[in-house]
Chain A
Amino acid sequence: MKKPTVSYPTELKQVLSTHIGPVNVVRYNNQTSKYCLSGGADRTIRLWNPSAGKEVKVYKGHGYEVLGLDIAPDNASFASCGGDKAVLIWDVASGTITRRLQGHFGKINVVRYVGGGAGAKDGGGNVLVSGSFDSKVMLWDMRYVVVLLTGTRLAPWVDRFKGSAQARVPIQTLQEARDSITSISIPPSSADGAEIVTGCVDGVVRSYDVRMGKLVSDTIGAPVTSVVVSPTAPKDSVLVASLDSSIRLMDRTNGQMLATFKHDKFVNTAYRSQVAFGYGEEVVLAGDDQGCLWAWNIIDSKSLMEQPEKVHDKVITWVESHPLNGEELLTASADGTIKVWGKKKEE
């Protein structure tokens, strides 16, 4: 066993287990990252205080399983999506659904706010990006009300625009993908970029650059299950997990592969499993189909352990690293639990 040179949270702190059935997604809130939201196959979204292990609130309203969610940069609302082919916008405090964005023809796998993240700037969250099984990415305007209020002229077209068809159709639909969109990553607004990176089952990672008006398609080969743009160098690298049981660190500038993270015993061929950078991007964290949590050193792309212990009974569906410090890590699994990992005390 190789002595790990880098560390990541390995001590089990809490088990959040009120979800019935698989937990599909877990996300930290923005800015403080003290809370997290999780969505599961039991059609509920739960708000947790992970460090305390307490469930704060349950959001019920989905008619089908929840597959993805994202929290608005101002933490006041969040968006969730899933089997009911609509993106629901929730008010965090009241737990009510404020908007329902319909337009996809398949279940929606992932939803992301533009301009979120830890360093969310003011005015982020103008656009919501949703990726669906129907191989479309839709961009939704989250600011249409503001248009009404700040527009200099209130013309008759306002009526047409107000809360109806105009507001309900997406700003734009990206139809380049040839298969189900599994993952979307949006570089943090602090990076001053305007990009949308999508991962698709057709094995292509597509980067839409709004500023430059370019679409860059990088063929990975195997179905891509998760794309994570590097939080520190979003213009340079992206982590791509695909169903050939390997995770690749790709150079975004020229499409070359920087590193491959794989292991003989690491098997991820069936499920979507969100991978994550460890804090500081020292490690790459990923769960496999058996429920083991793997970690690779990003420098030498070697696994930190030969055979990690099985931390979940079933496949790990989501690994979420605390965006602000390296002290916490969340893993969501199909066994219905979310485990909160913390760093071992220094001895």
Chain B
Amino acid sequence: MTSRLRKKLEDLEEAGNNLNESFCLIGTPLPSLADTKRDQNEFVPVWKQEVRDEQGRRRFHGAFTGGYSAGYYNTVGSKEGWTPASFKSSRANRAGNSSKLQGAEDFMDEEDLADLRDSRRLENTETFKSDGFTSTADELGRRPDSIGSALTSLIQPASSSVGQKLLMKMGWRPGQGIGPRVSARKRKIQEAKLLGRRTRPDAAEMAIDEEEGKHLFAPRDSKLMVFEQKSGKEGLGYIKGQGMQGLGKGDSAAKESTNLSAGFGLGIDEADEDDIDIYHTELNRADHGARTAYDLDEHDDDVVLLGPGVVGADKSRRGIQRTAEDGRTFKRPAPMNTFRDGNVWNDGKPVLPGFAIDPNATAQDKWFDFPPIPEGWRPRPARVWHKGSKWDQTQVPVPKAAPNAPPDKRSQLSADQRGDILGEEQLNSSAKSVFDYMSAKSKERLAQATGAHQTTGVSLTVEEATEQPEGVLVPPLSPRTASAALKGFIPFADDPAKQERYKSYLASQTYNTAEPSPKLLPGRPVNEINKELSDFSKSAAMFKPMSFAMANRFTTSSASAQDVAQPKPGLHIPDPDKLDEWADKSKTQNEIKEVLTPRQEAAKAGMYGAMTRTEENWAPNKLLCKRFGVADPYPDGLPGATKEESGPSGGTFGTRPLLTAPGQDVAWQNKFINVPSNEEKANPDATSGNGPRQPKTLAEVGLADDENQGRDTLTYKKPEIDIFKAIFADDDEDGSDDDDERPTGGSRPASVIPTVPPPSKLQQLLPGVTTAEASPAVSVNEASSDATSATYRPVFARPSSKRDVDEMEADTAASGGKADGAKSKRKRKRDDDRVRKSKKDKRDKKGSAKASDRDVRVEDVGADEDMWVEKEVAIPTAPLSKRKRAEDFL
């Protein structure tokens, strides 16, 4: 197909622009889209889409409701489109039968529906239309006038309800009341009631002639209740044209009620009913004196209690007061008292018409006096707090000393107190308080803020009153706190007498005090003394030194930056006389008292030189040295880098070496990076035949996923020629002979970190090349003292047989100092010249830790001898001083 198409296309190119050629081989091709009319479903961009209604108008929904593009461009109500009607049919509820009952509304468009809505109106039915129960304004307007209604009632068709008919059958006639027949006397009473009288009809009216007395009469028809339409906005009970006072003042109400409300643009002629100030009556005006829209009177929030005889007297008193305040001769309106009891509140205001005061109103709560406090009683809240303890009992017999005693020791022992009991050393004996570090001014300010402010101004130096007056409560203080506070900062320096009292209070609170009762504020009321004492206890708690652990975390502040002037109330007016003095003072105050280091002092004195100079070692980064083109001054690391020099300039502590990492060693890395590649060349066969653990993967150790990868490149040097020599030069030693003489880790110089077989011996390690006896290639934990912090990295070591392990252990033991084993001896002899120095170093280093020398990690993998196993080898963090050479491995 594609070939055919390609052919066609080639033909097409040949034929030129025969683009309309059909590719259809079977059947009739569809007409070309270009030929016919436009595709109905062709995509039209949103802005081109228009929807028009049947009349061809673009629908406009209003500027704020979407304009021409309401909804989703006049199409549907949702982004997704129409929600298809879900078809649901069940046995109980058949689809089509009940669910789709179509009504006339289904065929109406929006205009028709709107018409329908408009035409709907809630109306009375025909039956009730004519009667009086109409409410809306137009209905009321349509209600015929009284004459007309009378006439219509005459010609009203006799239509009667069922109830009426039934009543008629039961003997009721129109005009009669409903109910059993009554005697004439009762009927008279009914009549009287209907007329609205409250009193019983008098005897003359009740006179019944004999004939009347013989019969029973139908009861009078009860009057239909007529409710007045409320047309205004007046309050409940308000009678138009009549103020409240009208209730009390009778006829004069109408005359006085025509107060015009204050308003703009009202002539007298224009004043109509609405303008009459209905609320501002004479009474109110007299009350308030001025026109306000609401009652601004200060008594407004008085609680009015309902009920008889409660506040009458009070109110009358208030009325008098108010008169005095107003400055007018005004008497509380007398008519108040003349009202009938049922219609007047206690304060004289009339009850709203239609309401009556309940004579059985709830009585006011009765209040009783407190029982008299016994003579000599004084409050002691602690008795409640320590209920059940012996506090009270012990207090009572010894009233003087008792308040000083600490609270119940068994239950209230603090850690400090327990420490005292146990005889612990007081840690804060040499501790300093925070306040020792503060400036004196700050301290004073703090002291004032903590409560000394009431009495700081009063300086009373009289100190004769040592006996404790009655009622003085000495607040108990922990003896520990007290003694600590005594040693710490003593506030109230501006008032020596007070300071003395403070000290005396603290002294009284210590253990085994000589003066159990503190000096008190002389000649002052008890509450003042108590106040001062409680202030003292607060101050003591605040100024007591902190614990020793915290004390040395603070340093003395040299500058009192917070020292600002004590704010004084009122407007500050600088005194011109004191201005200069103040300026001088502030200048001296602001002078920062520096605490100079010796070097700074020397510099200040101009003694530059040795006294101002410090020299430290500083380790530049290796890369930095390289960039500067100089040799690294500390290739072995900074001497004494472990001890941090703490000077004013910090020493080398802060420098961050970026690329120096522990254990970075050129020799080590070269071994892994360079040698194996050469060795690959040397033994191409060996690398090809085995599994993934090929020696060539050794090359990846330094590169992939290795922390130290890349370091070597920064410090890369071409391998020494010795290595190449070692690899490529002829080896005069017999390989198979050396199998058991391979230098193991134990006999190796300490600087050789992972025991990787020397390059020249590598072929022996490679399976397939060497003989069957596997040579011991072990990875050795160097077990140096640095190894604890060493990083672990995988190296590859060959599993060794049991025999090899034994030999190796023997070797290790031999290298540790025990000379045994002929083989190891022989081997040592051979290696002696080369490694003697290193060995010596190692021995010195580990002289005491021979046991750790044996820490040779051998893993016996056993069966799979040809596999290389991954091992963890500790790399010492200390960089090596010397690069290893190839001969070290020989």
Contact = CB atoms under 8 A, between A and B. Distances in A.
Interface of A: 114, 123, 126-127, 139, 141, 143, 147, 151-153, 155-158, 160-161, 169-178, 194, 203-204, 206, 208-221, 248, 250, 254-257
B627 A151 contact: no
Contacts of B651: 176, 215
Interface residues of B, number: 50
B388 interface: no
B633 A172 contact: no
A257 B608 contact: yes
Interface in B627-650: 627-631, 633-634, 638, 647-650
B657 interface: yes
B203 to A, nearest CB: 112
B613 A218 contact: yes
Contacts of B620: 172, 208, 210, 213
A176 B654 contact: yes
B610 interface: yes
Contacts of A204: 648-649
Nearest to A254: B609
B627 A114 contact: yes
Given A217-B649, A221-B604, A255 B613 contact: yes
Contacts of B614: 216-217
A169 B625 CA distance: 17
A203 B610 contact: no
Contacts of B302: none
A173 B714 CA distance: 20
B655 interface: yes
A210 B713 contact: no
B333 to A, nearest CB: 81
Given A127-B628, A172-B658, A194-B630, A221 B603 contact: yes
B615 A214 contact: yes
A173 B656 contact: yes
12 contacts: A123-B629, A126-B628, A139-B621, A152-B716, A153-B713, A171-B624, A171-B627, A171-B658, A178-B649, A194-B630, A213-B619, A214-B618
B603 A219 contact: yes
A156 B597 CA distance: 51
Contacts of A160: 710
B703 interface: yes
A283 to B, nearest CB: 22
Contacts of B627: 114, 126-127, 141, 143, 171
B688 interface: no
Interface string B301-317: 00000000000000000
B373 interface: no
Contacts of A161: 710
Interface in B123-164: none
Given A152-B713, A156-B709, A217 B656 contact: no
Interface-central residue, A139, A160, A172, A173, by most chain B CB under 10 Å: A172
Contacts of A215: 615-618, 649, 651-652
B252 interface: no
Given A214-B618, A215-B652, A172 B657 contact: yes
Contacts of B597: 219
A126 B630 CA distance: 13
Given A211-B630, A217-B648, 11 more contacts: A141-B627, A156-B704, A158-B710, A172-B656, A194-B629, A203-B603, A210-B624, A214-B633, A218-B608, A219-B600, A255-B608
B623 interface: yes
B599 interface: yes
Contacts of B659: 171
Contacts of A151: 713, 716
B656 A155 contact: no
Contacts of B716: 151-153
B612 interface: yes
Among B600, B612, B630, B658, the one with the most A-chain Cβ atoms within 10 Å of its Cβ is B612
Contacts of A172: 620-621, 623-624, 655-658
Nearest to B617: A213
Nearest to A138: B656
B602 interface: yes
A66 B30 CA distance: 73
Closest 9 CB pairs of A and B: A213-B633, A175-B654, A157-B710, A255-B613, A215-B618, A221-B603, A257-B608, A126-B627, A194-B628
A198 to B, nearest CB: 11
Given A155-B709, A171-B623, A221-B604, A256 B628 contact: no
A172 B655 CA distance: 7
A143 B631 CA distance: 18
A213 B635 CA distance: 11
A177 B627 CA distance: 23
A50 B638 CA distance: 48
A215 B638 CA distance: 12
B817 interface: no
Contact of A214 (B617, B629, B650, B710): B617
A4 to B, nearest CB: 27
A133 B657 CA distance: 21
Given A141-B627, A156-B709, A208-B620, A216 B613 contact: yes
Contacts of A212: 633
B469 to A, nearest CB: 59
Contacts of B606: 257
A99 to B, nearest CB: 16
A103 B657 CA distance: 15
B619 to A, nearest CB: 6
Contacts of B703: 155-157
Contacts of A214: 615-618, 633
Interface string B574-617: 00000000000000000000000101101110101110111111
A252 B625 CA distance: 22
Contacts of A203: 600, 603
A208 B609 contact: no
B297 to A, nearest CB: 65
B649 A171 contact: no
Contacts of B599: 219
Contacts of B655: 172-176
B666 to A, nearest CB: 14
A157 B630 CA distance: 25
Residue with the greatest number of chain A CB neighbours at <10 A, chosen from B597, B619, B620, B656: B620
A263 B704 CA distance: 66
A210 B603 contact: no
A172 B622 CA distance: 10
A269 to B, nearest CB: 14
Nearest to B651: A176
Given A169-B658, A214-B615, A255 B649 contact: no
A220 B618 contact: no
Given A156-B703, A169-B658, A255 B612 contact: yes
B21 to A, nearest CB: 54
Most buried by B among A147, A151, A158, A213: A213
Nearest to B621: A172
A215 B716 CA distance: 28
A206 B649 contact: yes
Contacts of B600: 203, 219, 221
Contact of A155 (B621, B623, B634, B710): B710
B793 to A, nearest CB: 16
Contacts of A153: 713, 716
Contacts of A178: 648-650
B612 to A, nearest CB: 4
Nearest to B711: A157
A131 to B, nearest CB: 14
A213 B608 contact: no
Contacts of A220: 603, 612
Nearest to A160: B710
A236 to B, nearest CB: 15
A147 B603 CA distance: 45
A163 to B, nearest CB: 15
A114 B619 contact: no
